Chain A
Amino acid sequence: GQQLNQSPQSMFIQEGEDVSMNCTSSSIFNTWLWYKQDPGEGPVLLIALYKAGELTSNGRLTAQFGITRKDSFLNISASIPSDVGIYFCAGHLGDGNQFYFGTGTSLTVIP
């Protein structure tokens, strides 16, 4: 299957700081999604991106579809304790293909 690499693997930040994470692939994707997963729960979709270069915001979250279509970025501004969780990227190659999930970035926010 496709390999999506996320970095960093984990982050420990102070409340109020901004966060940046990214996802890279060796393949070109047509769609990028970003999910957040809380312990004991299923992933919840945060942002969906459908075009190269697209920049989309959802509250304090902003994500971008990389120009090369092989990467995507997620930024969280002014982090708060409820941002704690694991963030996954997922990419889709196109019709007839499945979504592939990244390895995840674990975020810890220190009050």
Chain B
Amino acid sequence: EAGVAQSPRYKIIEKRQSVAFWCNPISGHATLYWYQQILGQGPKLLIQFQNNGVVDDSQLPKDRFSAERLKGVDSTLKIQPAKLEDSAVYLCASSSRPRPPYNEQFFGPGTRLTVL
């Protein structure tokens, strides 16, 4: 079974530029998550999708971050414009069941973003 795919693996941009990350979840997984992991910290949820609908985006900085999952499969996360404090690893995860007993969230390898 293929895991969660993310691209690119690394991205370096200057502040005020735009960037987009792509995630392909495990086939059949209805729930998709985007997390931000700042160096030395645990992952922080940015947004959760159930199929193509948003379940939770309470911690997404909506003035600069946006995410979509148009057909309920792949998802993109965009930052526009980027700030220095956006430097982090952006993790995508998917699961087949969002409610207890929770199925495991399978994480992708992440995209490491450096904003200069």
The 0/1 profile, CB within 8 Å of A marked 1, for residues 3-20 of chain B is 010000000000000000
Chain B residues with a Cβ closer than 8 Å to the other chain, count: 22
Docked-complex contact A42 and B109, CB < 8 angstroms: yes
Q: CB of A1 within 8 A of chain B?
A: yes
Contact of A42 among B44, B45, B91, B100 (CB under 8 A): B91
Docked-complex contact A95 and B99, CB < 8 angstroms: yes
The 0/1 profile, CB within 8 Å of B marked 1, for residues 82-97 of chain A is 0000001010100100
Judged by DSSP, the binding face of B is loop
Task: Place the interface of chain A in its size category.
Answer: 20 to 34
Docked-complex contact A48 and B102, CB < 8 angstroms: yes
Minimal beta-carbon separation of A97 from chain B (angstroms): 8
* Contact A101:B105 (CB < 8 A) given known A1-B59, A30-B100: no
Give the A-binding residues of B (Cβ under 8 A): 4, 40-45, 48, 56, 59, 91, 93, 99-102, 104-105, 107-110
